[in-house]
Amino acid sequence: MTIIASLLSQARLPDSPTPRLDAELLLAAALGKPRSFLHTWPERVVSSDVAECYAGYLARRRGGEPVAYILGHQGFWSLDLEVAPDTLIPRPDTELLVETALALQPTGPAEVLDLGTGSGAIALALACERPAWQVAGVDRISAAVQLAERNRARLKLNNVRFLESHWFSSLGERRFALIVSNPPYIPARDPHLAEGDVRFEPASALVAGVDGLDDIRQIIDQAPRHLLPGGWLLLEHGFDQAPAVRDLLASAGFERVESRRDLGGHERISLGQWPC
């Protein structure tokens, strides 16, 4: 006979930065209950099937697999999103991109674009907060577009559409009041690519050339042809890339160029306005 408290106390996740949280999330998933259930009923006896399922989850986590991929979902903004190894796992720091976009653009009707949408996290958060906006999310990976569409359908958000496109390639002459992107920005030889959760995430969504700026350069170069006068471009980037990204924006003709800091105090996003 095994109880919840014993399962949690015996869980061993030595390489996880958040072992207790991971153990609780995985056990709650095995039980099909919220985490609060574990604290309310610590003496509850679990079935052998649940214990076996939990042991499997723990083994996968010990192997380095991200909790979000094991569970198949991840919270972002106010949303619970399906995630899969075809896309990046949405992270709290990226919510800064959403916050900044919402602050910059009026609440009235506007055309907004999310480049490299992945699970659809940014596009869906913006569409949820601004019902008057028409949001387009694009990704060059077909499986990512399908995943984002499943999230959209489950959330019943009708003011966002997802399509397959390598950056702007399928958008024709469309122009937007706001373009946001969390593109690949990790240098190809960065040692962090061999550590932690990123080992399991798609390299195509992480790596961008020798200095990590290849995709950002391409976006900044092409964005003016798809921005309305006075429109904004917002880009997430690496913690040490803000000066380079600001220089790229300014050199391309953007005005009011600046960077914003994330929860850890790092300059995590940079933005610029296309002249009126």
Model confidence pLDDT, tens digit, residues 234-266: 999 999 999 999 999 999 999 999 999 998 899
> Which residues face 236 on adjacent strands?
269
Q: What share of the chain has pLDDT > 90, as a percent?
A: 76
Whole-number average pLDDT of the chain: 92
266 φ/ψ angles, rounded to the nearest 5 degrees: -90, 145
Ordered domains of the chain (ranges, CATH): 2-63 (1.10.8.10), 86-273 (3.40.50.150)
* Mean per-residue pLDDT, 29-39: 93
Degrees to nearest 5, angle at CA 83 with 147 and 70: 140
- The three-state (H, E, C) secondary structure of 58-79, written as one string: HHHHHCCCCHHHHHCEEEECCE
> Sign (positive/negative) of CA torsion 64, 69, 71, 76?
positive
Q: What is the mean predicted confidence (pLDDT) over 77-101?
A: 93
Long-range contacts of 201-206 (CB under 8 A, 24+ apart): 201/66, 201/85, 201/87, 201/88, 201/89, 202/85, 202/86, 202/87, 202/88, 202/141, 204/141, 205/87, 205/88, 205/116, 205/118, 206/88
CA distance 20 to 254: 46
